[in-house]
Amino acid sequence: MKILLAEDDKRLSARLKDDLKRRGYAVDVADNGIDAEHLGTEWPYDAAILDLGLPRRSGLEVLRNWRRQGNALPVLILTARDAWHEKVDGFSAGADDYVAKPFHVEELVARLGALIRRAHAQPAGVVSAEGLTLDETRQVALCGEREIALSGIEFRLLRYFMLHAGQVLSKSHLAEHLYASDADPESNVIEVHVNRLRGKLGAGYITTRRGQGYVFGAPA
């Protein structure tokens, strides 16, 4: 899952980026509203963390512009703890959730995960599909009593597959959502990781559509 982090506090931004990467997210950072709006319009992010107090263009204006353009990107806003009016304005502009500063990273990550799961009709608090359940804290997959250990990229790939079960996903689409925009993965890297994931899950979970991509679904 790829996240847009729009925050002008460089120390906070760097800390959040590192924390989110450890939890399996690819992260792009914008330190002003103009860049944030452009990135959120041009790239297919799975969610955005948007500080309302951005320079050059406020986060509230960025959010309003996205929604005016029909951009349904899930947005978690960051507000000052005592600025209740910012929360109201943010929700009125189309925000999906908020976290008040200062905050614990664990709360932000939990709210972000819940926001993404809701966007993919996963209301139970866990990612599950086709008989598999994903333990996002330990980054392992569970199939009944069997626990499947995953590397970092395998975890990110499986999570994306599970949230888009039954959909045809091209290699380029997967790369866009698994890597930050400044990354330059090798052309066959997705195929390599898909094959490794197949070996761990067992036959039938990931099928290839020649010339189209991959489909995640339970084996027959």
Q: Do domains 2-119 and 127-216 have the same CATH topology?
A: no
* Average confidence (pLDDT) over 90-112: 94
Predicted confidence at residue 219, as pLDDT, reads 63
Token pair belonging to 191: 């195929």
Residue-averaged pLDDT of the chain: 92
Phi, psi of 122, deg, nearest 5: -120, 75
Number of alpha carbons in the 13 Å side-chain half-sphere of residue 166 = 3
Predicted confidence at residue 99, as pLDDT, reads 95
Predicted confidence at residue 123, as pLDDT, reads 67
**From the CB of residue 204, how many other CB atoms can be counted at a distance below 10 Å?**
12
Question: Who's near 37: CB < 8 A, 6+ residues apart?
Answer: 57, 62, 65, 66
Predicted confidence at residue 220, as pLDDT, reads 53
Sheet holding 2-6, edge to edge: 26-30, 2-6, 47-51, 75-80, 97-101
Residues of the chain with pLDDT > 90: what percent?
A: 79
Q: Considering the entire predicted model, what is its pTM?
A: 0.90
* Average confidence (pLDDT) over 75-92: 88
Say yes or no to pLDDT of 24 above 90: yes
Are the beta carbons of 24 and 155 closer than 8 angstroms?
yes
Q: Please give the CATH architecture assigned to the domain spanning 2-119.
A: 3-Layer(aba) Sandwich (3.40)
* Average confidence (pLDDT) over 79-97: 89
- 126-170 pLDDT tens trace: 898 988 999 998 999 999 889 999 999 999 999 999 999 999 999
Predicted confidence at residue 184, as pLDDT, reads 73
Question: Who's near 113: CB < 8 A, 6+ residues apart?
Answer: 136
**CATH of the domain spanning 127-216, picked from 1.10.10.60, 1.10.10.10, 3.40.50.2300, 1.20.1640.10:** 1.10.10.10
Question: Who's near 111: CB < 8 A, 6+ residues apart?
Answer: 76, 97, 99
Token pair belonging to 73: 């990107």
Q: How far apart are CA 110 and CA 170, in angstroms?
A: 29
* Average confidence (pLDDT) over 86-97: 94
Question: 188 - beta bridge partners?
Answer: none
* Average confidence (pLDDT) over 200-214: 91
Closest-CA residue to 130 (of 116, 142, 139): 142
Q: How far apart are CA 164 and CA 120, in angstroms?
A: 8
Q: How far apart are CA 54 and CA 28, in angstroms?
A: 16
Predicted confidence at residue 14, as pLDDT, reads 96
- 139-148 pLDDT tens trace: 999 998 899 9
**Domain layout of the chain by residue ranges:** 2-119, 127-216
- 31-53 pLDDT tens trace: 999 999 999 999 999 999 999 99
The CA distances from residue 99 to 63, 78, 82, 104, in Å, are 16, 5, 12, 9
